């Protein structure tokens, strides 16, 4: 169980090619790209013995987080642009800059907490045995 704690501190691991699935071609990562842990668990669904309900739950968690993340990243980009405009003025309004920075950091915090919460929900969807089977995969094993 202690080894599974690594899921909480990091949401991604170095990319490993997914196994072959008859009739299904999963997306392959670009060399060096990190892959979300839920995706790795889904790639190894058969090896882990995931039930169809668990697969659906993990797919839903991944999709929900991706939607939230896309919205937050867009919001973050807009806020960063606005902050840059404030900083490029001849007379910088420190009060407005501070507010903008706090908004940016708030969005980053929401993203990070959202990732951790999603990983915790994914962990809860797996049995203890499945979590143990997942550990070698996360360390780059079979």
Sort residue 119 into left (φ over 0), alpha (ψ -120 to 50) or beta: alpha
The predicted model scores a pTM of 0.72
- 62 in Cβ contact with 35 (< 8 Å): no
Average pLDDT value over all residues in the chain? 82
Burial of residue 72 (CB within 10 Å: 0-12, 13-18, 19+) is middle
More confident of the two residues 34 and 55: 55
Q: What is the pLDDT of residue 27?
A: 52
First-to-last alpha carbon distance for the chain, in angstroms, is: 19
Q: Reply yes or no on whether the pLDDT at 23 is more than 50.
A: no
Structure tokens at 138: 């996360």
E strand segments, the chain: 12-14, 34-36
């Amino acid at each position: 169980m202690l080894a599974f704690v690594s899921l909480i501190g990091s949401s991604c691991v170095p990319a490993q090619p997914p196994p072959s699935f008859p009739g299904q071609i999963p997306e392959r990562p670009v060399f060096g790209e990190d892959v979300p842990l839920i995706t790795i668990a889904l790639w190894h669904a058969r090896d882990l013995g995931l039930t169809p309900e668990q697969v659906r739950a993990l797919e839903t968690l991944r999709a929900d987080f991706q939607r939230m993340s896309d919205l937050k990243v867009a919001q973050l980009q807009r806020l960063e642009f606005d902050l840059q405009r404030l900083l490029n003025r001849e007379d910088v309004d420190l009060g407005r800059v501070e507010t903008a920075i706090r908004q940016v950091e708030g969005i980053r915090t929401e993203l990070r907490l959202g990732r951790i919460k999603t990983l915790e929900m994914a962990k809860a969807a797996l049995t203890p045995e499945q979590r143990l089977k997942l550990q070698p995969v996360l360390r780059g094993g079979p």
